[in-house]
Structure 1
Amino acid sequence: MALINLNQVSKEFSGKNGTVSAVSDVNFTVEEGEIFGIVGYSGAGKSTLVRLLNGLEAPSSGQVLIDQQDVAVLSGKKLREFRKEIGMIFQHFNLLWSRTVIENIALPLELSRLSRRERENKALDLIKLVGLEGREDAYPSQLSGGQKQRVGIARALANDPKILLCDEGTSALDPQTTDEVLDLLASINQKLGLTIVLITHEMHVIRKICHKVAVMEKGKIVEQGDVLEVFSNPQQEVTKRFVQQETVPETRSNPDALNFLAESFTAGKIVQLTFEGHKARSPIISKVIRHCQVDVNVIQGQIQQTQTSSFGTLIIELTGAEEEIEQAIHFFKEEGVGVEVGQE
């Protein structure tokens, strides 16, 4: 069942130079228990979209439906009750530095009808859930970045929300700590059946734990689908840049890496192959050599895991007669392999 449903949602702001369209005609649904990623570069409209989801902004047009409720019509007590069902994780943690770990986690419960002992017991359960046993009385200044974010996650879960919104929650962390926090979120999703929406500019975050992804550019959703499908067969240029930055290390400094390699390897044609699932373990290179009169120079390759399956990326140089190279490219496509050819 769809827990989140956005129907033709737009959000405009009035500025000095006229109307600014931050979000434009956005449509997507998030199923209950799903981890849904929204990825885009700075200025794509991701932060505005978060504020629409948690009711901090109302859409200029369209509907934001959360659990079949139109968020825009809520006000007063109903809006406050609704916001308790949305947990928020922030990039810079937003902890109170004068409060201990257990006090920070229990903070959202202070306006509830729970007794102090009940609030403390709930906070202790959450401390155990996020792996911070023994740090209950520590202050934020005594914690690492990853530990601070674990406190933020525990605090976001205090009111037993239906949805967890993570707004660039790993951007301030190093790669190893990022993976640890993502593993924790995946574990929470499985244990609690919690729906998670991740806002990020890092495709690694999407690949590691998301089930589905929407790619934003200039306020619009330009591509969306299952993570494996989007990674293995990106359609839009912005999506291809994101995927290349995650699958091919060199492209982090050169998003047009295929064309760069095509210029560097002038003897043949540079081709990027993408394999899904079991095809990642298929002896496709030996097959093409047997069927076509080409030489294959493997430049780079790797296999990566998503939440649901695996996919492989291989960059090769094909040399030989032009017609044989074209035949080899056709052979790859016939075998169900994704093919992208560098432009010389």
Structure 2
Amino acid sequence: MTSRYWAVSLPVQNSASSVWSSLQEQISKHSFDTPLYRFNIPNLRVGTLDSLLSLSDDLVRSNSFIEGVSQKTRRQIDELERVSRVESNALTVDGVPVDSYLTRFVWDEAKYPTMSPLKEIVDSIHTQVAKIEDDLKVRVAEYNNVRSQLNAINRKQSGSLAVRDLSNLVKPEDIIISENLITLLAIVPKYSQKDWLASYETLTSYVVPRSSKKLHEDNEYALYTVTLFRRVADNFRTSSREKGFQIRDFEYSSEAQENRKQEIERIVQDQESLRSSLLQWCYTSYGEVFSSWMHFCAVRVFAESILRYGLPPSFLACVLSPSLKSEKKVRSVLDGLGDSSNRLQVWTAFTLFVQKNQGCFPRVLLHDMNFCEDGTGPCQPLDQVGSA
């Protein structure tokens, strides 16, 4: 289940409170199940018309970037939670669920002074999000490097007997190493085991009778030991190969075994530590990116409203969450409120809810912000959903 949020700006002729009251009344009357919230955008520094026009192009590009980082961070969280087998947590901004943060948005004056030029605010947001993206790349690369090391070890320990590491299958008592004797490890095709047992003693001279013992079997092969005189080992390898048996080079060392075990334990601990720290970092960073994105959306609504409705700033910004079955009714309500103002300017960048064959909707519609049921962030922009 998802919640769909529309950020909408309506032109105001007399007072924002009267437009708000009318909107509440009409939504309650025609689409009572649609939540409606004020989108509290402060009076930002307008600057010149040229600067707004220039900024408008930058806003489109920056929006895609910021939203992309948000989605990338969210996907990383999903992956880490899945691998860690931890219960998914509702994502938050400073401890507040993201949907509540959106519907109760408050501008952070300390972080983004309203007297700063709009471009300066946008650049600051872009820089902060870019830094988070860079940090994410570094942290994910570090985690994936350790993960790859462990995967390589696991592949060696779980693959076919013909290629896998045999050290964890062989015990000290399985191996005889002396000045004259040596124990070899033979990889025998699963369906050739009878042939091996019947022939290994005669593959060369000086093979210890009844010395072969099966240590392990997988879907394709069986692992056998065989003890023989050291001086005939090469002849035995050659004869075995001719019969379709593979002799694996193996040298048992208890010290090497212990070192290998400790190395695996260290890599496992490193992976768990990096995964845990990366997940916690992603939780925090997602909140920071989402907060930055909401401030960016506020700037975008403000800038586009000035361009469409003119100066001085006179518009009502709000957030709605219509269900799919209520969208037409909500659009009709917004159409009526826009028509009553006689100001039919519209932001045409988003085709699904902005343009019709008969004309344009009289409102600025910023973005369609979809959230998963657990509040896991924006999903799909309106201009990627389709046309009305």
**What is the TM-score normalised by the length of structure 2?**
0.27
**Bigger proportion of residues as strand:** 1
**Bigger proportion of residues as helix:** 2
Instruction: Considering Cα pairs closer than 8 Å and 6+ residues apart, tell me whether 1 or 2 has the greater RCO.
Output: 2
**What is the TM-score normalised by the length of structure 1?**
0.30
